[in-house]
Amino acid sequence: MGLELQIARVSKNYNGNRILRDCSFAFGGGRTYVLQGPNGSGKSTLFRILALLERGDRGTVNYLDQSVVLEDNLALRRRLTLVLPRTGIFNTTVFKNVAYGLKVRGVDRATIEARVNDALLAVGLGHKKWHRALELSSGETKRLGIARGMVISPEVFLLDEPTVNIDPANTAMIEAIILKMKQERQATILMITHDPAQAQRLGDELIFMQDGKIVPA
């Protein structure tokens, strides 16, 4: 059922400092995994490795489809998305910001139009389509970042602190978007948060990181 992600004994050092230590876990099945842990414990580093943007120094990271290990990282990267806490927004319209990921993948115009509209509606930004992205509020900017991730219909969606530094109304909207993504698209979702109540609301599984180690709840 969809992509499965298995990591085994993944370690990572930066400048001789051990950031990740022997991290092993399995993700998949359209479940939502919520990762919590102190600043600097290695959560974002782990997410970059899971999103195949970076490699561990040791250990294995395997994506499987029906038990077959997928080797083509480029093809794989099209099936997953990492949304960062501060999304780099291009100085153009909201529409073009979301369309970008499809354009670089060579998707045709009509499909881009339809999918961008869907993604913008899903995050409540349909009415801001032709606004300049840099003029959005911080909550809207967060939702724009999520729309950019959603538009490629990822099977695995990684969200690094999707509601950090925004107000309760935007937080509630983003939680609703995440739940909908799980229910309607059967995406496997991994997210990082510092809010234990939010973790309880959204997570099928709660995971903790401490000093670069994964500690299951």
Ligand X SMILES: Nc1ncnc2c1ncn2[C@@H]1O[C@H](COP(=O)(O)OP(=O)(O)O)[C@@H](O)[C@H]1O
The footprint of Mg ion (CB under 5 A) covers: 43-44
d(CA 191, CA 36) in angstroms, rounded, equals 9
Residue 21 is a binding residue for ligand X (CB under 6 A)? no
CB closer to ligand X, 116 vs 199: 199
State how far the Cα of 6 lies from the Cα of 4, in Å rounded to an integer.
7
Name which of Mg ion, ligand X, none residue 196 binds, using a CB cut-off of 5 to 8 Å depending on partner kind.
none
Cβ 37 to Mg ion shortest distance, Å = 9
To Mg ion, the closest distance from the beta carbon of 86 in angstroms equals 11
Nearer to ligand X, 131 or 213 (CB): 213
Number of residues this chain uses to bind ligand X (CB under 6 A) = 11
Which of 44/151 has CB closer to Mg ion? 44
Of 50, 31, 41, 25, residue with least CA distance to 205: 31
Q: Which residue is nearest to Mg ion (CB)?
A: 44
Q: How far is the CB of 177 from Mg ion (least distance, A)?
A: 20
Q: Considering beta carbons, is residue 41 or 171 the nearer one to ligand X?
A: 41
Contact indicator for 32, 178 with CB cutoff of 8 Å:
yes
Q: Please, what is the minimum distance in Å from the beta carbon of residue 4 to ligand X? A: 23
Q: Which residues pair with 36 in a beta bridge?
A: 208
x/- map, 38-77, ligand X, by CB under 6 A: -xxxxxxx--------------------------------
48 vs 79, beta carbon nearer ligand X: 48
Q: How far is the CB of 19 from Mg ion (least distance, A)?
A: 11
Residue closer to ligand X by CB (options 112, 209) is 209
In the complex, the residues that contact ligand X under the rule CB under 6 A are: 14-15, 19, 37, 39-45
